[in-house]
Structure formats: C-alpha cells, structure tokens
Amino acid sequence: MMKKLLLGVLAGTLMAGCQTPILSPERDAEIQPLGIKGHHGVLRLRMDWPATPPIRTQYVPRSSMRAEFSVAAESGEVLAARTITRTGSADMSASLELAPGTGYTVSVGIYDGNDVLLASGISASFSIERQKIATIGLTALPILSTIAGTGATAYSGDEVPAVSTGLFLPLGLAIAPNGDLLIADSSNHAVRRMNAGGAISTITGTGSGTQSNLSDLGDDGPAVSATLKTPNALAFSPAGDLFIADTMNKRVRILPAEDGARYGMTLTAGRLHTLYLSAHKAPYLVGVASDRAGNVFVGEGDRLMMLTPGGEKSLVAGIPGTLGAGSDGLALESSLKMPEGLIVDAVGNLLFAERSNHRVRMLCRQAGTNFGIAMASGSVYTLAGEGNATSASVPLGDGGDALEASFASPRGLALDADGNLFVADAGNGLIRRMTPDRVIATFELGGSSALELPLKTPVGLVIHEGRLLVGDSGNHRIRSLPL
C-alpha cells in the first residue's frame, strides 16, 4: 500500500497566522487503491516551498533549504530516510517502499543552507496497508533557541560567547547599523552588544544602577563609565545615534554615532548625554523609537512625546495627568496608559503596546488604511485587544479579528516586510502574530528548548536576518525564532 504524506502549505486547511508547519492536519483521512499489485506499500513525501508565504496559512521558514524525513517503526527503529532539497519555489517529492504494518511515524527536520535546524515535527502513529494510499498529517514547529544568557541573574561575561553571559531581566532590543544586537540588560543597568560572532560586550552602564538624585550619571564622559538605572527600551536613528530609555532615571540618553550639533545639543561620539528628562514624579518613561527623519518618540505613563533633530519637543498623544483607557480619536484627546514597545512603520506611523490597557494601538501620522482601518492623521486607533486582561474565562481569540482578541500586558512589537505585526504578549508568555487584514494567532513553538524552557514574560522584539529575536526577560535570556 502507499501512504501519501502531504507537506507544505495547503490553502484553507491550516489556522491563519501560525508559522512554519508543513502539512495538512488531517490524519488517516483518505484511503485509495494503489493500482498495482505487490507486498509492499509506498510512502510518498511531498514538500512545498511557496514563492510567497500565504498570509492566512502556515508556511515553512523563508531560509529553509532542505527537509530531512525519517520513518520509524513502532519499536522506534528507523526504517528509512529521505532528504528533499529545495531547487526553487516548487513542489518536491520522494517515495520509499515500506512493508505493511502498524505503528509507523514520520519525523521531519527543516534546515537552512548553513545546516541550522529551523523547524521539526513528528506525525501521529499510522498504518501502511498493502496496495492502499492514505493521507496523514504532520506539522513542524519553529525551533525556539537561546542565543544569549545562561539564566543566571548575574552581570558577567563580557568578551565571551553570549550564551555564556549572565543577563538580568533583558527587555528592549535593537539592531545596530552594522547588524550587531543591542540588549537593554535592565536589572544589570547596562546596554550590552552582541556581535555577529556571538561575543558580548558592554557599551554603557557599569552593572550598578545609579539614580539621578543620588549622584552624577556620567553625562558627557565616556559611555562605558556612565551609569543607568533600569534601561527599558532602545532605538537607533537613521544616522546611527543610539537612544536609551533610562527608565528609573526618567531620562532618554543618547550615545551619538558622530560628533555634531543635533537635538538642540552639542554631541560627542562615544559619550553619553541626556536628551530628554521626564517631568513625571514616577519613573514612567518606558518606550523610545525613531522615524526616518530622525524624530524621537518617547513613551511615558500618560503621553507620547516627540523630539525633532532641531531640538523641538511636543506632545503628540495623550492627556497629561490622565492615565486611562482612552477611546479612539484625536490623539490629544485620547488618554493613554503605559505606552511602550514603540516602533515606527515605513510611512512614519507610530505603533505601541499599552501594557496596562492590554491593547495594541497606532498613532496615525499619515492618513490611509492600516490593518483594515481607515485612519486620519493625528488620531489614535486600536489595532488589537479588547481591553481586558486574559483570564481563564476569556479566550485568546486566535483565528479571529485582532480587535476581539485578548492580551495580558502586551509589551513589545515588531513588523516584518510583509506587514505582519508580532506582539510580545508578556503576561501570557506568548508571541502573537497579526496579519495585515487583522487576523490574530499565537506562535506555536517547537524543539526541546521550548518544551524545557517556555517563554516567560517576553518583552523586547526585533526582526533580524529572517529571525524574530525575543527578550525573554523572565528566563534572563535572548531567544530566536525563524520566520
């Protein structure tokens, strides 16, 4: 008998928004005559690499280059193996003969061109029947890997591999112009740099937090000697200046890429400066982002501020003194509550997560339709979240409209090139994905790392070289997922 395994993207059969799977979810859904006589069956493997990953269905990672299949007997003995190599966006297949029997399973591993495992999965047990064709289901899940941090809450490991480095509640992430990953190592009160080779170093902060009312912070001196207190978020300007949300100091600090006058200051490369000081009594400064013009956006407890390269400061959203769940509408008439995870899209709109209102929102700065919502410039709109924290009685809403979905303290955001929005649903320990037509789903994660150490309070998100990098703050690690 022949067992037919359907791999790849099958339109309409998979839940919208989930990443990296491979097959139809039906199991033993179809039995057909083989059409020839013989004692053995044939297992036919099919792998599809679509040119454009569908929005509403699962897909294999873009960087996948080969799929390795193995067939095992009920005893666990591997009976056969096949490799299908990518030769373009094509439907590739292979066949192998199997004796009739029960208890077979098929495993798959998907690899990139550098032999890195991207996704894996194993089928349910199935049977091979003589002179029959059957269909089973197999889904591969993206491998969640650790790229930095040991899990120890320590300040350690400069100039050693990042996986041997101690981090303590890593929060915001940013990619430097040269491709290095920067980490807001919040409770170590430092900003760390991980280079392409995987080595880590500290670029500012001493490992001991200093608040502004206690001593000098080291402004205008070497960045490696300056002190921070719980840095929360990071962002780069187009010119390469690094902005740091120095939360407990209620400041935005700037580490300039070059000497010069901008943002109303005279800046010196390699030295830390205070760009913005919050007027809040409480340390609410939790977000920072920059647009293509070099404008800097600052998220505070009840407002969003903008600083121009010329040094002007202005309120762009929120009602100072009012922390609340504001309705959509004019930005200066809508109250906010803890806007963080700030990112700017390609046309300058500002997206942010409202941790305390359990929503994702957008400040429209260029009129148009975004995520299926017609927007006017200067107004705030909700993109996702019905506003109540997830509980046992409130479903997540996967597969439906993101406006009706539930979150628990969302904190980080990232946009991919296809316009999909990724959300760090911190309170639920999940990564959520919203398509451009506002369909929401939860990332299912695979590999032993995900089973042994699931995400715990994920916060910072950034996309780099085909991977989603996650500040897994509760596990004191940086994790990586293939896209």
List b or e across 207-236, with b for residues whose CB sees 16 or more CB atoms inside 10 angstroms. bebbbbeeeebbbeeebeebbbbbbbbbbb
Across 408-421, average pLDDT? 95
User: H helices then E strands: how many in the chain?
Assistant: 1, 40
Distance between CA atoms of residues 82 and 373, nearest Å: 47
Q: Tell me how far apart the alpha carbons of residues 361 and 189 are, in angstroms, rounded to a whole number.
A: 29
Q: What is the mean pLDDT of residues 290-319?
A: 97
pLDDT score, position 35: 52
Q: What is the pLDDT of residue 213?
A: 57
Q: How far is CA 272 from the centre of its chain?
A: 29
What is the pTM (predicted TM-score) of this model?
A: 0.89
- What pLDDT shows up at residue 436? 94
- The pLDDT-based confidence of 6 (bands split at 50, 70, 90) is very low
pLDDT of res. 167: 95
Assign 329 a pLDDT band (cuts: 50, 70, 90).
Answer: very high
pLDDT, the chain, mean: 86
Cα 350 to chain center, whole Å?
Answer: 17
Q: What is the CA radius of gyration of the chain?
A: 25
Provide the pLDDT for residue 206.
Answer: 83
DSSP three-state, residue 160: coil
What pLDDT is stored for residue 36 in this prediction?
54
Res 382: pLDDT = 97
Is 90 exceeded by the pLDDT of residue 456? yes
Is the per-residue pLDDT at 134 higher than 90?
Answer: no
- Residue 447 pLDDT greater than 80, yes or no: no
Provide the pLDDT for residue 37: 55
Q: Which residue has the tokens 């001493």?
A: 206
Question: Cα–Cα distance between 22 and 79 in angstroms, integer?
Answer: 22
Name which residue leads in pLDDT, 10 or 144. 144
pLDDT of residue 229: 94
Q: Tell me: the pLDDT tens digits for 351-376?
A: 999 999 999 999 999 999 999 999 99
The backbone region for 150, taken as left when phi is positive above 0, alpha when psi lies in -120 to 50, beta otherwise, is alpha
Mean pLDDT of 433-462: 89
How does pLDDT run across 12-54, given as a tens digit for each residue?
Answer: 222 222 333 344 333 333 455 555 556 788 888 888 777 665 5
Question: 235 pLDDT exceeds 90?
Answer: yes
pLDDT at 337: 94
DSSP state of 294: -
Dump pLDDT digits (tens) for 75-85: 999 999 999 99
Query: Is the pLDDT confidence value at 308 over 90?
Result: yes
Name the pLDDT band for 58 (thresholds 50, 70, 90): low
pLDDT band of residue 316 (cuts 50, 70, 90) is very high
pLDDT at 209: 65
Q: Is pLDDT of 177 > 90?
A: yes
pLDDT of 113 over the 60 cut: yes
**What would the mean pLDDT of 467-478 be, rounded to a whole number?**
97
Which three-class secondary structure string do you get for 366-401?
CCEEECCEEECCCEEEEEECCCCECCCCCCCCCCCE
- Span 105-130, mean pLDDT? 90
Q: Range with the lowest mean pLDDT among 28-32, 227-231, 289-293?
A: 28-32
- Residues 249-266 have pLDDT tens digits of 999 999 999 999 999 999
Q: What is the pLDDT of residue 89?
A: 65
